[in-house]
Structure 1
Amino acid sequence: MKVLFVPINREGWPFIAIFAILTLVLMTGAYALEWFNAVQPIGWVGAILTVWCICFFRDPHRVTPTREGLVISPADGVVQLIDRAAPPAELGMGDAERTRVCVFMNVFNVHVNRSPLDGVVKKVAYRPGKFLNASLDKASVDNERMSLSLETKDGKEIAFVQIAGLVARRIVCWTKEGDELKAGERFGMIRFGSRVDVYLPEGVEPMVSLGQTTKAAETVLADMNSTEPARVGEVR
């Protein structure tokens, strides 16, 4: 039953309503005008798209690890890239490169984004841009994005960036500068395919590997209290 009644994020209801109404119009209109055989396939396509839209905007509850120092994945998806890069210039965090973990979300993933750890939001900066495939490295530079920096109670600073993708046309961010976030707390979403980059504090190594599947608010990306070297993995 839990699978059938997953919570739906409020951002999705207008889209679900539009898809459902169009499907209803197509199906009932086909019967009324005796065009059912001609319009029926289109009506079923509308029904399938309505179900997909409901699935896209699902917002399931998650169990978040709460130990201090853990950096939690902000997005469902796959670890597409682990490299070193400077945080977005608009955050004012300097030019020094940090370890960056990029999580790519396809159109079937949950797209609600969660805070990677506890802290105070120091900066929220929107930058318009292109809509390249979010799996490309240059998407982090060229695409539309919403960048956030967050400071922990012990003064460490982390950045995470919502990046629009090829299909995405709307980044939603519900938090603002000065807000306090808890690890796993919802702070925004990106509609219809995208990616989230996390810039770790210097000296912190990722605990995930390329190609690994992540769950927002549950998968541990890194541990700021650990001296463990970066992990590697292999397909088995």
Structure 2
Amino acid sequence: MTLHKEGRKILFFSLIIFVGIYFLVDYLTDAPEWVNNSVLGILVVVYFLILQFFRNPSFKIVKNDKHVLAPADGKVVVIEDAEETEYFKEKRKQISIFMSPVNVHVNRSPIAGVVKFCKYHAGKYLVAWHPKSSTENERTTIVVEKPDGVQVLFRQIAGAVARRIKWYVNEGDAVDQGAEFGFIKFGSRVDVFLPLDAKINVNIGDKTKGGRTILAELS
């Protein structure tokens, strides 16, 4: 298990702040011992919660040109035919994955191909499961085209807590299936838009693993 690069500064400064808080409580106040121990316990628990959020597990990615892999760990909250208004401007099959603060927040490319479109949008911070979060929240839209011309759109969406969307690809970049393309700090959501004839392999409420769960199969 390794730590993601996005967490290094946060973990470093959090450690300094937490040590400072404990020093203030333990050495500069007359608080009883049980208070000092309670503060220490709370700080340790909070620090380990932050630590686990930035974990970046290693695993083997099974690549398949016909498969669409989950872009993130989380829970499937939407499966529907929806109008995609930014890029395709037509109906597509939409699958949305909600990422809670306890999920791994590395985002991975569902397919292999070339990035045909990449755009960042500033926006609101509605809760990630809000219906309008896909179009009104801070978000990044990425479209990857396979060698056979099939395109898949995936969108990183910030939530009420997540306000740090990171993406590492640009238009024209080649990406491998399951390769990391971004990261969202704390709770958030990822939408995937597929061709209407895609065979969906998940159901509402299913748990997904980024780069491992097969969301759908393409024709």
- TM-score, with normalisation over the residues of structure 1? 0.87
Task: Return the letter of the residue paired with 1:155.
Answer: G
Identity value in percent: 35
> Do structure 1's residue 24 and structure 2's residue 19 form an aligned pair?
yes
| Larger proportion of strand | 2
Residues 173 and 163 from structure 1, CA distance in 2 versus in 1: closer, same or farther, beyond 3 angstroms?
Answer: same
How many residues end up aligned between the 2 structures?
217
Query: In the alignment, which residue of structure 2 is the partner of 1:229?
Result: none
Query: In the alignment, which residue of structure 2 is the partner of 1:171?
Result: 165
Unaligned runs of 5+ in 2: none
Please give the secondary structure, in 2, of the residue aligned with 1:202.
Answer: coil
Residues 116 and 171 from structure 1, CA distance in 2 versus in 1: closer, same or farther, beyond 3 angstroms?
Answer: same
Task: Return the letter of the residue paired with 1:210.
Answer: I
Query: In the alignment, which residue of structure 2 is the partner of 1:152?
Result: 146
Please give the secondary structure, in 2, of the residue aligned with 1:30.
Answer: helix
> Once the two structures are superposed, what CA deviation does each residue of 1:162-196 show, in whole Å capped at 9, x if it has no partner?
00011111100011111111111000011110000
> Do structure 1's residue 9 and structure 2's residue 4 form an aligned pair?
yes
199, 204, 209: which one pairs with 1:215?
A: 209
- The alpha carbon displacement at 1:39 in A equals 5.1
Task: Return the letter of the residue paired with 2:21.
Answer: L
The aligned runs of 1:90-105 (5 Å cut-off) are: 92-93=87-88, 95-105=89-99
- The alpha carbon displacement at 1:34 in A equals 4.7
- The alpha carbon displacement at 1:217 in A equals 0.3
> Do structure 1's residue 41 and structure 2's residue 38 form an aligned pair?
yes
Greater CA drift, 25-34 or 80-89: 25-34
Query: In the alignment, which residue of structure 2 is the partner of 1:119?
Result: 113
Greater CA drift, 49-58 or 28-37: 28-37
Query: In the alignment, which residue of structure 1 is the partner of 2:79?
Result: 82
- The alpha carbon displacement at 1:46 in A equals 2.3
Task: Return the letter of the residue paired with 2:109.
Answer: S
Cα RMSD after superposing both structures: 1.5
